[in-house]
Structure 1
Amino acid sequence: MIKALFFDIDGTLVSFKTHTIAASTMEALRNLRAKGIKVFIATGRQLQCIDNLGDLEVDGYITLNGGYCIAGSEDVIYKHAIPQEDIHSMLEYQRTVHSFPCACVTEDKIVLNYRNESVDALYEQIRLKAPEIGSIEALADKEIFQLIAFFTAEEEERIMAYMPNSLAARWSPYFADVVAKGCTKAVGIDRIIEHYGISLKETMAFGDGGNDIAMLQHAGVGVAMGNAMDEVKKAADFVTTSVDEDGIVNTLRHFGLL
């Protein structure tokens, strides 16, 4: 029996076309929570940047791709920062080899070194205000839980060689989320279910991007949206219709949860 549902936000819960959660999905999740099934968010976003869920109530959050997990609305139960040596290596690469837009995400802020067309395109796509511009070097010795790194897939291998204790995942051609090795949404699921006393086989996870693959492979049932990338669909147990075609509701009905 499924007791916990985990949802990516952008492209899974929230449509890139409407920038909202479908009314049918909202109603379904409210009904499931009323039956005692817990609903969790699993996102690359920082908690303060989750602004597109409407009035949906949830039971907790996996944020920053598993690097920062919250039970309820504010009980931090797990956090894992990028090792400082990797941050310093990245900054050295920026200074001496090639500069690229990069936002550093701490516990309470996001600072971006500069903007370009890729930065503007991403934040327009997700309808979110771009981070403040500032000195990322000033954050080098603070806990940084994620980098929003605007390098291409072709540049990724070269740049990540400077950060051997970190890993990159992307759901967009514009950028990659960089977190400490060992931080994935799958790890986030483990921390959440440990806190709530739920077994892994009682979980179902939904996603559409590369940073969802580990979560879909790990959950009791992994569901890829119809709009997901091909490698995400290959990693899933079940492929549903797209976010704009009631993919979540169709899945919940298929598995007898509605």
Structure 2
Amino acid sequence: MKPDLIIFDMDDTLLTSQNRVSQKTKDYLLKVQQLGYKLTLASGRPTEGMMAVAKELKLDQYGSYIMSYNGGQIIDVANQSIIAKQSVSKENFDRIVDFCRQHNMLVLTYYEGRIVCEGTHHYMGVESELTGMPMIQVDDIKAYVQTDVPKVMAVDDEDKIASMYASEAQQFTDELAITISKPFFLEFMCKGVSKGTAIRRLAEQRGMSVKNMIAFGDSANDFDMIETVGTGIAMGNAREDLKEKADLVTKSHDEEGIPFILTQLLGVEL
């Protein structure tokens, strides 16, 4: 049976270490769309940081979707309309900023098409490099941003982010969803937001079955997505605990892992 949807995380899954879609993977995904398969991108990235890749893969021409901010927004790529949206309230945003200040972590969010950050860190430019969005640094991000926001991120070294996630950040779980994307990004979203939740919502709205979907991922924010769909696939470079949860493990993002396994599952060769 043809899957209702094939879903891809972006960083370290669809994209190589050079932050691009390889030519072979691109050619393969264009071919399967021509044969009627529908693709979707699901990422912690902001919408603006996903659209270029979505259009490179011609998702706008094949009636496809993107799930940005870890599922906080679902976008129809053809007209860039928002199908569903959940935000972090200004009150919770201020609480997260205070938490980051207390623990000396850089904090950033997305506002008026830009990344806005407070503080400094040697990883502070990574999100801008990955997404292609401009970044500005402000002295008081709480004063600068006066609205609800789609997502908030704390940025710090890997060990500290892991420690914060396991301990102090758990104080927010009654009101917020928390995950790790890159090992140096601790992400805060509206309660209930996740890639898996977004997939279920899209399936309900579009009359699809989550059990007839395939999803690819590599990181902590891909756990519930991998568990939600019928066939969850971990990349060869994925976390070991994600590989254990996945139905299948393919080659790495730098070894054409996506076309390698889809050729077997779909019976479509390039």
Please give the TM-score of this superposition, normalised by the length of structure 1: 0.89
Aligned CA distance change for structure 1 residues 24 and 146 (closer, same or farther; 3 Å): same
Could you tell me which amino acid in structure 1 is paired with residue 99 of structure 2? Y
CA contact (8 A) 2:12 2:253 kept: yes
Q: Say whether 1:92 aligns with 2:101.
A: no
Q: Secondary structure at the match of 2:104?
A: coil
Aligned CA distance change for structure 1 residues 125 and 195 (closer, same or farther; 3 Å): same
1:109 is displaced (CA, Å) by 3.6
Q: Say whether 1:208 aligns with 2:214.
A: no
Show structure 1 runs of 4+ deviating over 6 A. none
Question: Can you give the 5+ residue segments of structure 1 that lack an aligned partner in the other structure?
Answer: none
Q: How many residues align?
A: 255
Q: Secondary structure at the match of 1:112?
A: strand
Matches within 5 A, 1:172-251: 172-251=182-261
CA contact (8 A) 1:12 1:208 kept: yes
Q: Secondary structure at the match of 1:243?
A: coil
Match for residue 143 of structure 1? 148
CA contact (8 A) 1:14 1:21 kept: yes
Q: Secondary structure at the match of 1:244?
A: coil
Equivalent residue in structure 2 for 1:105, among 92, 101, 110? 110
Residues 176-196 of structure 1 show CA distances to partners (whole Å, capped at 9, x for unaligned) of 121122100011112222333
Identity of aligned residues (%): 26
Q: Secondary structure at the match of 2:74?
A: strand
How far apart, CA to CA, are the structure 2 residues paired with 1:63 and 1:4? Answer: 16
How far apart, CA to CA, are the structure 2 residues paired with 1:93 and 1:224? Answer: 33
Q: Say whether 1:80 aligns with 2:90.
A: no
Aligned CA distance change for structure 1 residues 242 and 91 (closer, same or farther; 3 Å): closer
Match for residue 57 of structure 1? 58
CA contact (8 A) 1:93 1:162 kept: no
Match for residue 23 of structure 1? 23
Match for residue 74 of structure 2? 69
How far apart, CA to CA, are the structure 2 residues paired with 1:236 and 1:125? Answer: 29
Aligned CA distance change for structure 1 residues 14 and 4 (closer, same or farther; 3 Å): same
Question: Can you give the 5+ residue segments of structure 2 that lack an aligned partner in the other structure?
Answer: none
How far apart, CA to CA, are the structure 2 residues paired with 1:163 and 1:92? Answer: 16
1:131 is displaced (CA, Å) by 2.2
How far apart, CA to CA, are the structure 1 residues paired with 2:41 and 2:132? Answer: 18
Q: Secondary structure at the match of 1:154?
A: helix
CA contact (8 A) 2:50 2:68 kept: no
CA contact (8 A) 1:71 1:192 kept: no
Q: Secondary structure at the match of 1:179?
A: strand
1:37 is displaced (CA, Å) by 1.1
The alignment's C-alpha RMSD in Å is: 2.3
1:85 is displaced (CA, Å) by 3.4
Match for residue 162 of structure 2? 153
